[in-house]
Amino acid sequence: MKITIVIPVYNSSRFLDKTLKAVDDQKNISNWDLELILVEDGSPDNSFEVIEKLSDHYGYIKAVKLSRNFGHQIAVKTGLSYSTGDYIAIIDDDLQDPPSLLPRFFQELDNGYEVAYGVRKKRKESEAKKLAYTSFYRLLNSISDTKIPLDSGDFCVMTKNIKDKMLSLNEQNPYLRGIRAWVGYKQVGVEYERSGRIEGESGYSLKKLIKIAKDGIFSFSSLPLQIISLLGNIGLFISCVFTIFTVIRYFNNKIDVAGYTTLIIMIMFFNSILLISLGIIGEYIYRIYNEVRNRPYTIIEKTINI
């Protein structure tokens, strides 16, 4: 059985050697026929130079350098496109999902599952981050047309069959854990305690986290479009009530020049609904435009052993 491990690399030059040492230790323990694919996602540091040096020591490394920072999901998708193993694993470069857990996951594939994904039982992160992640996963699960497992990330193992099916969906803004769930087949969650980072800060800025959240919501739920209808119905109801109220005042001869405040409030309310609706429609239109341009989802600058 050939094993492929895909690791997206971003700003990891200081500790990447520790990550590869952990992978190599587990390779020797489990006697893997290993293919390790490192995708350097336009890091501002010298991560790719470190990868080049490490590839001299670890002959099973294959590396891809992207021409700029395309984002975590694109980096993982690029790594999957170069994967040739029978079983493929996705882990991060910071050892929060350590290679020592992989034999448990591969065992599930041996038992007949096509995908074994990690379910985070505990996270060593700030309370604010944990609350945000927990809330988002539950929100997405409740509104998604595809049921995406709670508290599951990109950390998983899959068969070559699932990898091929996922890559057949050529989306410009992929939400991979959602695509993985959408593909279907026999999948199982494996609980584990997520470790803290071995060093450095997460490459996920607030802006990147919001983008991934938007990719998940807009790619796997029609709720934003339904919200427009809901806002329209609320506006219609308020308009009807206000119209009845105005007519009653008219027949009771209580209409006077006053009403400036009410008028301003009504204009601001309906303009807000209009702008929110246009923003939601604009998000979908941009995503459609992004798909029909048919640009490549990434640009490869350099490779090693490929």
Report pLDDT for 15.
Answer: 86
Q: Smallest Cα–Cα separation from 158: which of 146, 166, 150?
A: 166
Asked if 226 and 281 touch (Cβ cutoff 8 Å), the reply is: no
Q: Which residues pair with 193 in a beta bridge?
A: 122
The domain segmentation of the chain, as residue ranges, is 2-205+296-304, 223-292
Give per-residue pLDDT as tens, 12-24.
888 888 889 988 9
The pLDDT score that the predictor gives to residue 123 is 58
Distance CA 107, CA 96 (A): 20
Report pLDDT for 198: 59
Phi and psi for 256 in degrees, rounded to 5? -130, -170
253: confidence class by pLDDT, cuts 50, 70, 90: low
* Spatial separation of the C-alpha atoms in residues 146 and 220, rounded to whole Å: 6
pTM equals: 0.69
Cα 102 to chain center, whole Å?
Answer: 21
Say what the pLDDT of residue 39 is: 92
The CA distance from 104 to 190, in Å, is 8
pLDDT value at 283 more than 60: yes
Using one digit for the tens of pLDDT, what is the confidence trace for 188-241? 888 877 766 555 555 555 566 666 666 666 666 666 766 776 777 777 777 777
Q: In the prediction, which pLDDT does 191 show?
A: 80
Q: What is the average pLDDT across 270-276?
A: 74
For 99-155, what is each residue's pLDDT tens digit? 888 998 899 898 989 988 888 776 555 566 666 666 666 666 666 666 766 666 778
Whole-angstrom CA distances from 170 to 42, 54, 103, 131, 149 are 22, 32, 30, 32, 22
Which CATH superfamily hosts domain 2-205+296-304?
Spore Coat Polysaccharide Biosynthesis Protein SpsA; Chain A (3.90.550.10)
Give the pLDDT score at 125.
59
